Amino acid sequence: MADKDTTHFGYQEVATGDKQKKVAEVFHSVASKYDLMNDLMSFGIHRLWKRYTIELSGVRAGNSVLDIAGGTGDLSYAFARRVGPEGQVVLADINESMLKVGRDRLADRGIAGNLETVQANAESLPFDDNRFDVVSIAFGLRNVTHKEKALAEMQRVLKPGGRLLVLEFSKPRNDLLSRAYDFYSFQALPRMGSLVTGDADSYRYLAESIRMHPDQETLKAMMSDAGFERVQYHNLTGGIVALHRGVKP
């Protein structure tokens, strides 16, 4: 299929081939302050969203897990503890700055033996078919240029019966919450980003990219189209975030 000439980067229309580079600039810029900003921006609530993701994954001791766009490794850390020494977790991310923070952080926490870090693009995963019991992507999919391609890749590397968990910002379910959230994201977030990281633009991109991301039902349909079965989603914090889960037949 021919590639479209342009795509969105937040609210900007950019050449399709340029999006990946622009996303890379954002994450190179924020990597060292990423974890601090996550806690500040979400008032720590991202930890609950991630805990719920681990619960819904059904991960067990001995499982093999891919955490794609895993960044600084929150999910990978939790998965590595669950799968234990017989299991394996691959923390994969396209961005070497984010991966470096993740690798150092997990090594400091004593996670090493069952964890591997791999620099990889979600759109072309360097893994064999049918390899993983669980694949997760948290707050990563909206940054990927070709989302359908990435979902197809995630489905390919899962074992039959394996689960995909997509944790991502989504569409708030109620108007009042939506308006308060708009005010917070477009006014407060860039200011907070500027104060803590000196980079307001990356946090403006965050707010814009969230608005451009497919809503709950659209993402559900995209997962079904990619071949997942029993696709369901759970709205978290009033739909500010949604956790989608699908099973490879």
Residues that bind ligand SAM in the complex, under the rule CB under 6 A = 23, 27, 68-72, 74, 93-95, 98, 121-123, 138-140, 143-144
C-alpha–C-alpha distance, residues 197 and 217, integer Å = 34
**Cβ 87 to ligand SAM, closest distance in Å?**
19
**Cβ 175 to ligand SAM, closest distance in Å?**
26
Judged by beta carbon, residue 165 or residue 223, the one nearer ligand SAM is: 165
- For residues 203 and 216, the answer to whether their CB atoms sit within 8 Å is no
Burial call 152-187: b when 16+ CB within 10 Å, e when fewer: ebbbbbbbeebbbbbbbbbbbeeeeeeeebeeebee
Judged by beta carbon, residue 25 or residue 224, the one nearer ligand SAM is: 25
Residue 166 three-state SS: strand
- For residues 87 and 65, the answer to whether their CB atoms sit within 8 Å is yes
Q: Is the dihedral of CA 156, 159, 160, 161 positive or negative?
A: negative
**Cβ 113 to ligand SAM, closest distance in Å?**
22
H/E element, 145: none
Judged by beta carbon, residue 94 or residue 247, the one nearer ligand SAM is: 94
**Cβ 95 to ligand SAM, closest distance in Å?**
3
Structure tokens at 144: 């990927």
- For residues 223 and 231, the answer to whether their CB atoms sit within 8 Å is yes
**Cβ 206 to ligand SAM, closest distance in Å?**
8
Judged by beta carbon, residue 143 or residue 155, the one nearer ligand SAM is: 143
Judged by beta carbon, residue 70 or residue 162, the one nearer ligand SAM is: 70
